[in-house]
Each structure stands twice: as structure tokens, then as C-alpha cells.
Amino acid sequence: MKATIVIFLLTVPFAQERTVRGVMQARPGAEAEDVEVKVHPVPVDPPSVAAADAEIPDDDLVLGVVVDGKAMAYPIRYLAMSEVLNDRVGDTPLAPSW
């Protein structure tokens, strides 16, 4: 199986920061209140390279995903920088998170 490694740093395009409105309870039984919260931007469609071309150590921890026979690996040290990203494996939307 051919694997692909997703590598992203500060060059990855980020989704625009936005604000969402909702209802929140501070704790169970508390009164619900309307809130407005800023949503932190996440990387969108990060660039990827073939596993053979990736310059990561063999013992690097990665989050691996296989969809319809296509393998992707997301190095944890990169995921830790943004916690979640928006990507696709083939036609399947994916939001790997750490």
C-alpha cells in the first residue's frame, strides 16, 4: 500500500476566524444563556508528500488513516500545533485531531 504523509507548518492556509452563537449551560442545572464564541481557525487542505519523500524519523508518532485503500499519516508533532485540521482522503472529508 502506498502511503502519504501530511506535512504542514505555518504555510498551510487557515480557515477564516469567525464567531458562532449558541446556548450554553455553565453547569448542569444552571440557567442556559445565549453566548457568542470565537472559533479558532484550523488548517484547511494541508499539503502532503509521498511517504518515501517525507523527512520524518522512522520512530515519529503519527495518526494513520486508511480510506478506500488510500493511506494517510499525520505526524502528531504537527497535529499538536493546531489540534485539528480539515482535510480529505480521496473524496472523504476528514478532521484529524490530537
pTM above 0.85, yes or no: no
Q: Which pLDDT does position 11 carry in this prediction? A: 44
With a cut of 80, say whether residue 14 has pLDDT above it: no
Q: Sketch the domain layout of the chain as residue ranges.
A: 3-15+42-94
Contact (CB, 8 A) for 34 and 56: no
Q: Which pLDDT does position 40 carry in this prediction? A: 65
With a cut of 60, say whether residue 85 has pLDDT above it: yes
Positive or negative, the CA dihedral 33, 34, 38, 40 is positive
Contact (CB, 8 A) for 35 and 24: yes
Strands of 1-98 (E only): list them. Answer: 3-6, 18-24, 33-39, 48-50, 62-67, 70-75, 87-89, 92-94
Tell me the per-residue pLDDT of 19-72, one tens digit each, with 9 for 90 and over: 888 888 888 888 999 988 877 666 777 778 887 788 888 888 888 888 888 888
